[in-house]
Amino acid sequence: MTEVALQAVELVRRIEGAVSHTLVNGIDLAVSKGEFVAITGPSGSGKSSLLYLLGLLDAPSEGEVMICGQPTSKLSESDRADVRLTKCGFVFQFHFLLPEFTSLDNVLLPMRAAGRMAEAEMRERGLALLDSLGLAEHANKRPNQLSGGQRQRVAIARALANRPEIIVADEPTGALDTASTEQVFSILRNIADKGQTVVVVTHDPALAARADRRIHIVDGKIAEITERGRGELVCEAVS
């Protein structure tokens, strides 16, 4: 049995209001260290909502998210921020880089916020990260001087900055062309192969097929789980 990096237990997220709405409706999931999981499902099925919960960006209405075995539901907002800073890296469909800063400064941002390394050490790591994603010559460019694919790679480098155990990405290739999509996906694959845990939401079935496990979500529930190379493995039927 491999080490579990990320675990969801009976996860529920409800929006209370005039019309109450359940975005995530009782999800159980355990992702091992170094695993690459793809989440698929129709639009509006709650994929993003689930990802925000797994990345501690949002708090569940019920249930528990465990990061490296640590329960998180009782943490304060600022403690959750600390966990995000050091244990979870985010990549969104939109790059969300700070427009006034260079690629390097954007990558350095989480490291500087954590403040655990000397400036020189941070710069070295930042440059190495950019280099590993093929961005060495773009380190001093601002986001508006980069292409969409390059920006998304900078965003990935930023997500990796503090060596998080878990990387979550919400349609990171949604706005990219085929070549860039291929590039971004192989980078994420690489990250997982090196031992970090990756959870990606994607609409592209071809890409999802390259994940270790594919989790299909319908109406906030897991409809089916497919493991690579073993065909379909129905875990929970739609009720």
Partner 1 sequence: MKLLFNIAWTHVSTRVRQTLVGMAGVSMGVGFTIMMAGLMQGSQIDFLRQLVDTMPHITVEDERRSVPTQPAEQEYAAVQMSDIANVGKRPGIRYSESVMSSLRSWIPGDVAPSAKTTAIVNHGGARIGITLSGIDPRREVQVSKLATQMREGKIDDLSRAPNGIIMGEALAEKLGVKTGNTVLLVGGQGVQLNSTVAGLYRSGLKRVDESQIYSLMGPAQVMMGQSGVINQLRLRLNDPMLAQKVAAQVEAQTGYKSVSWQEANADLLSSFTVRDFIVLTVMGAMLLTSSFATYNIISTITHEKRQDIAIMKSLGMREYAVRRIFIIEAAIIGVVGILFGWILGYLLCYGWSKITIFNPLTGATVPLQIYYSLAHYVIVGGISLVCCAGAAYFPARKATCVHPVEIIRGAS
Ligand X SMILES: Nc1ncnc2c1ncn2[C@@H]1O[C@H](COP(=O)(O)OP(=O)(O)OP(=O)(O)O)[C@@H](O)[C@H]1O
- For 167-192, letters b (16+ CB in 10 Å) and e give bbbbbbbeebeeebbebbbebbbebb
**Shortest Cβ 90–Mg ion spacing (Å):** 13
Least Å distance between CB 77 and ligand X?
Answer: 18
Contact by Cβ (8 Å): 166, 6: yes
Interface positions with ligand X (CB under 6 A): 15, 21, 23, 41, 43-49
**Shortest Cβ contact with ligand X: which residue?**
48
Closer to partner 1 at the Cβ: 36 or 90? 90
d(CA 203, CA 208): 8
Which of the listed partners (Mg ion, ligand X, partner 1, none) does 221 bind, with a CB threshold of 5 to 8 Å by partner kind? none
Q: Which does 66 bind (CB under 5 to 8 A by kind): Mg ion, ligand X, partner 1, none?
A: none
- Determine the Cα–Cα distance for residues 97 and 234; give it in Å rounded to an integer: 39
Sign of CA pseudo-dihedral 69, 232, 195, 93? negative
* Least gap, CB of 219 to ligand X (angstroms): 9
Residue 40 interacting with Mg ion (CB under 5 A): no
CB closer to Mg ion out of 34 and 41: 41
In single-letter form, the type of residue at position 230 comes to R
The Cα 8–Cα 103 span in angstroms is: 34
Give contact residues for partner 1 (rule: CB under 8 A).
48, 52, 57-58, 77-78, 81-86, 88, 90, 92-94, 96-101, 109-110, 112-115, 158, 170-171, 174
Residues that bind Mg ion in the complex, under the rule CB under 5 A: 48
